[in-house]
A = this chain, B = another copy of it.
């Protein structure tokens, strides 16, 4: 990002991911999934800590999934979610090391 001015298409693509992270509930969801034992969590583990209803959690999980930040799979009764590290790493590397400027 510091090197070259970031063309229009890349900016739109990245903005969608950041938008998925721009909600406190979604950030906490991502953190809960990432920090959960085994690196994955079912929805039943995620609805508890929040004051919002279960459909709202489901909606936020869908946003994270469509942004490519998490993966999901149904195994029997429960649906499990896990973090996709490559997507977060991409965003992380984009933001790092503008420290040499100024």
Contact = CB atoms under 8 A, between A and B. Distances in A.
Given A24-B15, A27-B11, A31-B6, A99 B89 contact: yes
Interface residues of A, number: 45
B19 A1 contact: no
Given A34-B101, A39-B101, A8 B22 contact: no
B30 A1 contact: yes
A96 B39 CA distance: 15
Interface string A1-25: 1111110100110110011011111
A1 B33 CA distance: 10
A2 B35 CA distance: 4
21 contacts: A1-B34, A5-B32, A6-B31, A15-B21, A15-B24, A15-B27, A18-B22, A19-B23, A22-B22, A34-B101, A40-B102, A83-B98, A85-B101, A85-B102, A88-B95, A88-B98, A91-B95, A92-B92, A92-B93, A92-B94, A92-B95
